[in-house]
Amino acid sequence: MPSPFLFLLAALIWGSTFWAITLQLGEVPPMVSVAYRFALAAATLFGYCMMRGTRLALPWRTQRWLMAQGFLTFGLSYICTYNAEQYLVSALVAVLFALMVFWTPLCARLLFGTPIGWRVWAAGSVAVAGVGLLFSQSIGAALHDLQTGGKGHFLLGLVLALGATIASSAGNVLVSKVRAQSSDVFLTTAWSMAWGTALVLALIAVSGQSLALPQAPKYWMGLFYLSLFGSVIAFIAYFTLINRIGAQRAVYVGVASPVISVLLSIRLEHYRPGPLEWLGMTLCLASVAWAVRAPAAAKPASPLVCTPVATSVSTPVAEIP
């Protein structure tokens, strides 16, 4: 397939996954939906690896990193994302996931002492200002709601969405540890999803939630779309794109995806951003584009950027819920 088609395919799928999550809300607990999604995605990837003749077993030293990465990226992050979308429009969650471009190097700095360049600090400051504009009116309304006896659900959704981006960023920092043990992207992603599913199932058992099967056709449509398209097909397209044009250019998928999410929210969720919201989104996404753009004279590299609202174990992705 031509590279422009692969770029468009990954951006369209990942941009639409934020809205597709809303199809799974309401009938079963969010944690149960996360478990169903990544159990199906992991089984699909394991099946693909078996068709390729790949040996599925990995040593424990690799599995330890996959377990940690799976819990953060395919467990905690998605639990927070699904819960956040009960209170926030999916487009707002998508824009927040673009901030992973900055959270990931910050996590790398905290965990491994990796230096952070001036471009990330500068672009991050602009992005934070953009997010402040984007949410300023909604936060003000939510605070007023709290003062008048309301529950402040918008603020809860905002905290959960930020928690999701930070969890995914921390998981992305483990990419280098996994890559040092195995270079098979599909196998390590399958194992990471499997570990994430297992740990989410453990949380479901502890919390006493039921694994009842939903009845609504839209739920199953969302499940299969998120599992097979959002968690498998888009990754294959993205990884192929990286091999052809490099990570520095392929990562712009993560800039295009939130734009698609906003357009879908306007069309399908009746989201009507005002001038401040448009300015905030523009500042945020423009700063992300600037942060991931390699300097003209610099040697191309593969930076740790982020994965989503579908995420990767061994290759950086911009955001994939």
How far apart are alpha carbons 312 and 220 in whole angstroms? Answer: 24
CA angle at 78 for the pair 204 and 318, rounded to the nearest 5°: 160
* Distance of alpha carbon 132 from alpha carbon 151, whole angstroms: 21
Give the mean pLDDT of 3-22.
89
Which candidate, 93, 98, 77, places its Cα nearest to that of 31?
Answer: 77
The amino acid sitting at 42 is A
Per-residue model confidence as pLDDT tens digits over 229-257: 988 888 788 877 766 776 556 667 777 88
In this predicted model, what pLDDT tens digit does every residue of 144-169 receive, in sequence order? Answer: 777 777 777 888 999 999 999 899 88
pLDDT averaged over the chain?
82
Q: What is the pLDDT of residues 45-85, one digit of tens each?
A: 999 999 999 999 999 988 999 999 899 989 999 999 999 99
Above 80 in pLDDT, residue 310?
no
Count of alpha carbons within 13 Å of 72, Cβ hemisphere only?
Answer: 23
Q: Give the pLDDT mean for 193-222.
A: 91
Mean pLDDT of 207-219: 88
What are the structure tokens assigned to 142, written together? 């939510």
Mention every residue, 6+ apart, whose C-beta is less than 8 A from residue 263: none
Helix, coil or strand: residue 253: helix
Task: Please give the radius of gyration of the chain, using alpha carbons only, rounded to the nearest integer.
Answer: 19
Q: Taken in order 119, 124, 129, 135, is the CA torsion positive or negative?
A: positive
Q: Which residue has the tokens 């939630």?
A: 209
Residue type, 244: R
Q: Range with the lowest mean pLDDT among 156-165, 191-200, 284-293?
A: 284-293
Task: Give the three-class secondary structure for 28.
Answer: strand
Cα separation of 303 and 12, whole Å? 23
| Distance in angstroms (rounded) separating the CA atoms of residues 222 and 12 | 15
Degrees, nearest 5: CA angle 268-309-200: 115
Tell me the three-class secondary structure of 73-88, residue by residue.
HHHHHHHHHHHHCCCC
Phi, psi of 113 (to 5 degrees): 70, 20
Q: Which of 4-13, 93-102, 250-259 has the lowest mean pLDDT?
A: 250-259
pLDDT band at residue 297, thresholds of 50, 70 and 90? very low
Given this model, what pLDDT does residue 243 score? Answer: 66
298 has a pLDDT exceeding 80: no
Segment 119-123 mean pLDDT: 79
Closest to 38 in 3D by CA, of 10, 70, 80: 70
Count of CB atoms within 10 A of residue 242's CB? 22
Sign of the torsion formed by the C-alpha atoms of 206, 198, 105 and 280: negative
Q: What per-residue confidence (pLDDT) applies to 305? A: 42
